[in-house]
Structure 1
Amino acid sequence: MSTPRVVLYGRAGCHLCDEAREVVARVCADLGVAWTEYDIDDDPELQDRYAVEIPVTLVDGRQHDFWRVDESRLRAALGG
């Protein structure tokens, strides 16, 4: 299994997280890129770090977007 290139941090019940998840899932499926998601409410450190910015996406370990995921920008970052 490959290491995910995209990480999505969010929480349950967050409508922006739901929207971001749809974009990330679609782009990653189209490009054959692995991704994963973490619920910040499962980790106090993640809550402290990202509570006011979720959803947050990382690409290759670096913060890419927060609040909204721009599909074109994500595709470009992933080489698609």
Structure 2
Amino acid sequence: MGEKRVVLYTKLHCPLCDDAHKLLQKLQLEIPFHIQTIDIYKDDVLLEKYGLMIPVIEVEGEEIDYGRINEEKVKKALTNF
């Protein structure tokens, strides 16, 4: 089985998004996965869907957490798939 795919929905000038990205990078040290970062301001549909929620972390197509990201919740999602 290959690496899991994690999508981080983000925007510019977003301290919570920066924190979420740092958390994902920290988790990558122990769990192999690929991070794809998507700026919601480049897609009107995503902007409408996630505008007030970002950052949003999605693991293998499933939304796991948003806003203030919970490390344990993300770690559990990465190890349970």
TM-score by length of 1: 0.87
Q: How does 1:1-80 map to 2 (within 5 A)?
A: 5-79=5-79
Unpaired runs of 5+ residues, structure 2, are: none
Given the superposition, is the C-alpha separation of residues 59 and 39 from structure 1 closer, same or farther in structure 2, using an over 3 Å criterion? same
Contact map agreement 2:10 2:37 (CA 8 A) in 1: yes
Q: Which amino acid aligns with 2:9?
A: Y
| Percent of matched pairs sharing the same residue | 32
Instruction: Measure, in 2, the Cα distance between the counterparts of 1:16 and 1:6.
Output: 17
Unpaired runs of 5+ residues, structure 1, are: none
Instruction: Measure, in 2, the Cα distance between the counterparts of 1:62 and 1:34.
Output: 15
Instruction: Measure, in 2, the Cα distance between the counterparts of 1:39 and 1:72.
Output: 24
Query: How many equivalent pairs are there?
Result: 79
User: Could you list the per-position Cα deviations for residues 6-32 of structure 1 after superposition, in whole angstroms to 9, with x for gaps in the alignment?
Assistant: 100010101111111110121123211
Over the aligned positions, Cα root-mean-square deviation in angstroms equals 1.7
Instruction: Measure, in 1, the Cα distance between the counterparts of 2:56 and 2:41.
Output: 14
TM-score by length of 2: 0.86
